[in-house]
Amino acid sequence: MNFGLIIIGDEILSGKRQDKHFPKVVELLAARGLQLSWAEYLGDDRERLVATLQRSFASGDVVFSCGGIGATPDDHTRQAAGIALGLELELHPEAAKLIAQRTAEMAAEGRGSADMSTPENRQRLKMGEFPAGAGIIPNPFNRIPGFEIRNHFFVPGFPVMAWPMIEWVLDNRFADLFHRERRAEKSFMAYEVPESAVTPLMEQVERDFPGVKTFSLPSVGEDGRRRHIELGVKGPEHLVAPALERLEAGARGLGAEIG
């Protein structure tokens, strides 16, 4: 099963805010023996969001989407998910209850009214409008939930909310996938050999060890360091050591100096 990540917001693409979701989601998955297969950054563009979600819904992947689920004019994620699935948005009854509870808490702190019929609070309730049939994702920070539908999990853009919500999804929906296969990654530095020379070797290692991926990270000598290639393998733990041994021996045979 593939895991994907969609990060939404003009503020990310403009550089006004730096994305923190990508490394955190990689970390949360890795801690459970899982890995991210793909990630996309999107602005607050409803048509592009719809097109992306149509594709991701059709893929069958598990997808986390961060951002754009509020109720301001630049929030399009809830609506885009509905359009992508051909579903109307409906006020989720449990979401409405949680939003009302949060509103009452704020009113008790002297911030607004607990009357849910006021224009301000009716606007708040829009944050509980999700595609018909969606479930909710609990938000431990302020109660305002995210939503889930068709293996897509939509959470706010705020890390303090998004990250525990993603952890909840992983632990409550996909625990049966945790640590099914121990994986590893190992590499070495190869000096004085061009990347074009080691490419056939990498291809051969992948053929000889199905399930293993090779990788090449060349350096052009920046920061005063010698030109080199970091060559490595990643995949099932029991295959990584012999595959790396084969890769290193092949690189030496090509005249590479190993570091």
pLDDT single digits (tens) 164-208 = 999 999 999 999 999 988 889 999 999 989 999 999 999 999 999
For 76-95, the pLDDT digits (tens) are: 999 999 999 999 999 999 99
Tell me which amino acid residue 87 is.
L
CATH 3.30.70.2860 domain span(s) along the chain = 183-258
For 33-61, the pLDDT digits (tens) are: 999 999 999 999 999 999 999 999 999 99
Tokens of 252: 């030496």
136: which DSSP letter?
E
pLDDT of the residue at 72:
94
CATH 3.40.980.10 domain span(s) along the chain = 3-177
pTM: 0.88
Nearest to 127 by CA among 150, 107, 97: 97
- Strands of the chain, DSSP E: 3-8, 36-42, 62-66, 89-91, 129-131, 135-137, 146-149, 152-155, 183-191, 213-219, 228-236, 257-258
Kindly state which CATH superfamily the domain 3-177 is placed in.
Answer: MoaB/Mog-like domain (3.40.980.10)
SS3 167: helix
Q: Does domain 183-258 have CATH number 3.30.70.2860?
A: yes
Give the contacts of 235 (CB within 8 A, at least 6 positions apart). 183, 184, 209, 211, 212, 213, 243
